[in-house]
Structure 1
């Protein structure tokens, strides 16, 4: 597999923010009488990589769509502010691997998240210097596959791969017509892929 550019997913690939996000969301949800149950870390991990509409339906199925989205957008806004201060958990060797990869590869991020989320990741961990560009549906309103295409076109990329951990990441890669490397250590289970890694530093061997 030969490539000169790598697009990364974020949640389940570069970091695990689920504990911080769960705490933040439950704080926000406490202001809504319509929401009776608290979310768990497992709930959040199971929703990583989904589009905002799908997450809203999964967590608040008994509410009207407009209310669901209102609550989710409020959670997302508070979440970014929380993450800027508290951060998430970087997977082992992430920074060390990025330091080595950036010497020979162009690095990018495409994640299914709201605006401000990737920026919070950059700010709290100081990793923005490794990435040329990034995109998300919070800015574009588009799917992950379409956002991958935007990165490809905007940066005139030819030989690239996408690294992610969910079925949605695989489908986005296929939509964009690029190879998919499965980060098996993440949240999802994927049976089809072009290559697989059990730790992020294994990218260096590819």
Structure 2
């Protein structure tokens, strides 16, 4: 991979950091601000849907809500999530900051996530790592699935030999859509039986690249 790769595109949740505690807290604060019944959401619940397209998460968690209620909850929880993420953030996986700083010297770095619009910017603001990445895309901004967003990043940055790094089966499937090699972050939230290379820890990125 060292010979041919010119860029690395990263998933965010479960690959770069763990913000599930903060996100769960935001969702539960949002429950108090709507006038309809919403079940309590745990950190485990948030972790279980890591990698899903943001709007589809509401269909999974709240199938009995009307479309209007889901939209309202999405707006309220989204605002609360951004507020808390900028203040409390998440936990970077051990070694990821050092790995990104190392990779930045030799590769172009990007983020593609299925998060809501504004989430990646909150990650940048809290971690002060935004200067390491050249571009990013998310389903919350485009409304498109991850595979299409990967293709957009590749095209608009004229990437020749990119690699996608993620932790879920959905990430792997997105890499197939985009036609790029996949590196599985086995330390993350998800499981996938299909991968080209796997990482036991973020430090392995320095060994591979």
Contact 1:166–1:188 (Cα < 8 Å) also in 2 = yes
* TM-score, normalised relative to structure 2: 0.95
The answer for the alignment partner of 1:107 in structure 2 is 109
SS at match of 1:10: coil
Separation of aligned partners in 1, 2:59 and 2:40: 15
How does 1:36-185 map onto structure 2 within 5 Å?
A: 36-185=38-187
Task: Report the CA distance between 1:25 and its aligned residue.
Answer: 1.0
Superposition pairs of residues 30-41 of structure 1, within 5 angstroms: 30-41=32-43
Q: SS at 1:205's partner residue?
A: helix
Q: Which runs of 4+ in 1 moved over 4 A?
A: none
Structure 1 unaligned spans of 5+: none
Deviations 1:47-78, CA, capped at 9 Å, x for gaps: 11111232011111111123213212321222
Q: How many residues are treated as equivalent by the alignment?
A: 206
Q: CA deviation at 1:36?
A: 4.2
Match of 2:28 in 1: 26
